Structure 1
């Protein structure tokens, strides 16, 4: 039968067990030599597995001189487990209180909402009113362009655009006048050269 490799979690358990059994301080290189022989953990994976245990505060580490040392004591692990269990129980208690509160709220809100004939009638009436409301909104939208506020807005916009158009027309006339006086050019020549309509005039 093919031999399957160890899972990451199994490697973590075995490496932690190794440190528990030795009850000593080790450098990474020392663990990379011991772990394959004693726990069947490949040398290449020891570093990553060890770091994951350090990140989870299951293995302690400290730098002494130029070297990093690692260790894990069963007593600390037991304390950590007790603390974790206590936190879990506290969270469970909190969630139970929240559930009780929600159950009470649901019970209160359900009062008067029993599936009675009267409730069915009211819900049916509500649905009808909502449908009627949607229809009226569509009709109102159809008359949107006749809304006095909309008409006034369009009128104001029209006046603004007319003023802007007349300003540009005035500018064109000014430039044409200047060119005629400066270069003695006929107005018809200017109109043709710059595509200016012959009937260009102010908007009234």
Structure 2
């Protein structure tokens, strides 16, 4: 019988704690709802918000339809291509300078090509 009384007391204590928590939550909800009454102005603002969100969604869909024609994406790709071109020219210049320097030291160009893993179909540019 003592175990039942202990269990009953424990559950009553938990019930009291939950009822207190429920009361606090209801009070907080009532406090949060103050100032958010359903007024005509609020209804107007909510309808304006929903129409603007719909318009934004439509514009995003229209923008994504253009895809590759997006000016921002186009400019980024253009800059990336320019960076790659500059890098290719720079490394080609570096290789040519190294080949000339190595040739001046008596190293054959085939050895330099092998070390740099350059295929034989790569054209040597004469400077």
**TM-score range normalised by the length of the shorter chain:** 0.5 to 0.7
Instruction: Give the alignment's TM-score, normalised by structure 2.
Output: 0.54
**Alpha carbons 2:63, 2:70 under 8 Å: kept:** no
Give secondary structure in 2 for the equivalent of 1:197: coil
Residue equivalent to 1:61: none
The number of residue pairs the alignment matches comes to 111
Residue equivalent to 1:96: 19
Pick aligned residue for 1:151 from 75, 85, 96: 75
Cα-Cα RMSD? 4.2
Seen in structure 2, the aligned counterparts of structure 1 residues 174 and 158 have a Cα distance that, compared at 3 Å, is same
Pick aligned residue for 2:57 from 119, 122, 134: 134
Q: Aligned pair 1:194/2:120, yes or no? A: yes
TM-aligned CA deviation for residue 95 of structure 1: 1.0
TM-aligned CA deviation for residue 184 of structure 1: 7.8
- Greater RCO, 1 or 2 (C-alpha within 8 Å, sep 6+): 1
In 2: Cα distance, 1:182 partner to 1:122 partner: 80
**Alpha carbons 2:103, 2:109 under 8 Å: kept:** yes
Structure 1: state its 5+ residue gaps: 1-76, 186-192
State the structure with more CA Rg.
1
TM-aligned CA deviation for residue 175 of structure 1: 4.7
Instruction: Give the alignment's TM-score, normalised by structure 1.
Output: 0.38
TM-aligned CA deviation for residue 107 of structure 1: 3.9
